[in-house]
Structure 1
Amino acid sequence: MIGVAGLVDPVTTFAAPVQINQNPETKVENSKWADGSRLIVSVSMQFEAGGQPDNAESPFPRNMEKGYVDLPSSTWYEYGYKEGIPRMLDNWDQLGIKVTSHMVGTAVLKNPALAKEIVDRGHEAAAHGMSWNSQYNLSYEDEKKFIKDGVDAIKKTTGFNPVGYNANWLRRGENTLKILQELGFKYHIDDLSRDEPFIIKVNNKDFVVVPYSIRCNDIVLIEGKNFSVDQFINQVKAEFDQLYKESANKRRQLSISFHDRIGGTPQMVKVTADLIKYMQSHKGVSFKRKDEIAEMTYRDRTVVRE
């Protein structure tokens, strides 16, 4: 692992000076995106910390005796709303991009001022369930209430009406999409099958899928596989380089995911800024919220339909 990490120095990789384009929607020949972008990058910022149950998964060994609370693990989550999201918000502002924040209802209610600040800074608030509980095993009515309660928490706290949905660990149930359509959602992200948005039929109506990725996800790579920051960034950079090449002839979307207590650490924010500046140096690269991507997809008659 040390040998792999030493192959590329992220400092020198992204050392070339770049111009941060605040409106990078430059028309590109052969663009497959309706707005003329060559490649669209979609950044997710999960707002989950504070809504986790006792003894939730963490970097600490799961060896607590029953009946006791893992207090150090709780402080790891607290970092997400005390340091992580505020640091990421400043980073997005400095880079001139807007992101989609998938918000757990209980986390929003615990830190309402932070949730509102995310929206006030121009980012999208998307629903992420009322709590960390699974929903795929709920009855139709219980799952509908679970989703709606999360939406209501976001609307009451931020004034933003969520139109996008992300289930806990992407594990939606057989009824989830029907419920989302009934509740007025426009898209969901719990799908890994493509590198571009597409339209499906739900309740005989169009519904957009803005695909997600676990290949460019800090909780999978940093926490799950113990990647160092340079390994994480080099993997995402490789994904970007290939998709940018393909985007000369195909509609391509790059998805990157950051979690409050992981992506908001100083080291991650630093290398993320370097990476995004590298992407912004490429002609026709746009950064968009997922609700913007969904809206474009609905209007585009050339998108993939399943």
Structure 2
Amino acid sequence: MGSRRNFIKQTGIIGMVGLINPIETFAEVSQTKSFLSASKTKWTDGSRLVVSISMQFEAGGQPDNAESPFPQNIQKGYIDLPAATWYNYGYKEGIPRMLDNWDKLGVKVTSHMVGTAVLKNPELAKEIVQRGHEAAAHGMNWSTQYTMPYEEEKKFIKDGVDAIKNITGFTAIGYNANWLRRGTNTLNILQELGFKYHIDDISRDEPFIIQVKNKDFAVVPYTLRCNDIVLIEGKNFSADQFLQQVKMEFDQLYAESETQRRQMSISFHDRIGGTPQMVKAANDLIKYMQQHKGVSFKRKDEIAEMALQDKTTIRE
């Protein structure tokens, strides 16, 4: 059975053709169905389902007393020292362990980098890029950007981009705001600064194109459903519960990808996704996905470029 989207398009086309020449209408139905299916199910590289992995590089960039698994009862005027060590784990153990895992699996990911985290751990930031992963911008620090005036926000974003560029040599073209909370000016600023896409949108399971300043701009949807900070820290899932939920998501999207274009997103944070149990879960999960024909793993800059070049990409 075809997708709802294709059904609507098919009935519209068939209706228009029928008004012109009803005798030939039904003879062309199968050909029309084949064309619509091919244009909406195939990625330009022939992939059936594209999986996009995020690796958040935030540790070291957090403010004092940032949210952590410890009780939020530290008295005013004191620094939560144990909580700081939870974040430190992200760059001391988490990202190095995840990088080794990606290499073993042969996949490349997108690392959303906080500018101050990059400046505090420059060698690690460089290693991420040297291993072939994408460096995407994630603000200069953890400040709330949606409240900033236009020029202040522009500087905030640009400072983060410059930190990545100066340390790694990589020019970030993708953006992720803190907890996805961009402001009304953010997209205009990103377009001005030369970005090609953002991920602060969870409204679809495939990339789409919007108009920003009368120019095309790609949206590569993020995820909360397959996100370790939401499931592991927010809901206290165990690693095997996380594995099962994400596997179920994959199974459904893979089935849907037979009739429509699908993208799956998974998100890991340095101090959470980089723990031994979570890396083992990620390893098992990706090996399972790799057993399915037509599944490819792509960086988000690659997905954005494919979407921008493909005339059949959804436009909003």
Instruction: With the length of structure 1 as denominator, give the TM-score of the two structures.
Output: 0.90
After the TM superposition, which residues 47-196 of structure 1 pair with which residues of structure 2 at under 5 Å, given as runs?
47-196=57-206
Is contact 2:46-2:294 (8 Å) kept? Answer: yes
Whole-Å separation in 2 of the counterparts to 1:287 and 1:234: 19
Correspondence 1:255-270 to 2 at 5 A:
255-270=265-280
Contact map agreement 1:30 1:248 (CA 8 A) in 2: no
Q: Say if 2:230 is the partner of 1:220.
A: yes
1:46 maps to 2:56? yes
Aligned partners of 1:211 and 1:239: how far apart in 2?
15
Cα distance, 1:32 vs structure 2: 2.0
Q: Judging changes above 3 Å, is the alpha-carbon distance between structure 1 residues 69 and 30 closer, same or farther for their aligned structure 2 residues?
A: closer
C-alpha separation in 1, matches of 2:121 and 2:40: 45
Q: In the TM superposition, what is the alpha-carbon distance from 1:271 to its structure 2 partner? A: 1.2
Residue of structure 2 aligned with 1:234, choices 239, 244, 266:
244
| Identity within the alignment, % | 80
Mapped to 2, the partners of 1:67 and 1:30 lie a distance apart of: 57
Taking the aligned partners of 1:30 and 1:59, their CA distance within structure 2 comes to 43
Q: Which has the higher contact order (CA 8 A, sep 6+)?
A: 1
- Structure 1: give runs of 5+ residues left out of the alignment: 1-27
Per-residue CA distance 1:228-260 (angstroms, 9 max, x = gap): 011111000000000000000100000000000
Aligned counterpart for 1:275 among listed residues 258, 273, 285: 285
- CA–CA separation in structure 2 for the residues paired with 1:57 and 1:139: 26
Q: Over aligned residue pairs, what C-alpha RMSD do you find?
A: 1.1
Corresponding position of 1:243? 253
Q: 2-side partners of 1:145 and 1:292: how far apart?
A: 26
Indicate the SS of the match to 2:222.
Answer: coil
1:189 partner amino acid: I
2: CA distance between counterparts of 1:89 and 1:61? 31
- Note if contact 1:135-1:173 (Cα within 8 Å) is conserved in structure 2: yes
AA aligned opposite 1:131: N
Match 1:254 to one of 251, 260, 264 = 264
Quick one: distance in 2 between partners of 1:305 and 1:63? Answer: 47
AA matched with 1:219? I
> Displacement of 1:31 after TM fit?
4.0
Q: CA deviation at 1:30?
A: 7.9
Mapped partners of 1:59, 1:108: distance in 2: 23
Q: Give the direction of change, closer, same or farther, for the CA distance of 1:56–1:30 in structure 2 (3 Å limit).
A: closer
Name the SS of the counterpart of 2:132 in structure 1: coil
- Asked if 1:297 is matched to 2:307, the reply is yes
**SS at 1:211's partner residue?**
coil
- How big is the shift at 1:29? 11
- Higher percent of residues as helix: 2
Match of 2:45 in 1: 35
Q: What is the letter of the counterpart of residue 38 of structure 1?
A: R
Q: How far off is 1:273 after superposition?
A: 0.2
Q: Secondary structure at the match of 2:147?
A: coil
2: CA distance, partners of 1:37 / 1:212:
19
Checking the alignment, whether the CA contact within 8 Å between 2:40 and 2:312 is kept in structure 1 is no
Aligned length: 279
Gaps of 5+ in 2: 1-37
Distance 1:34 1:270 in 2: 32
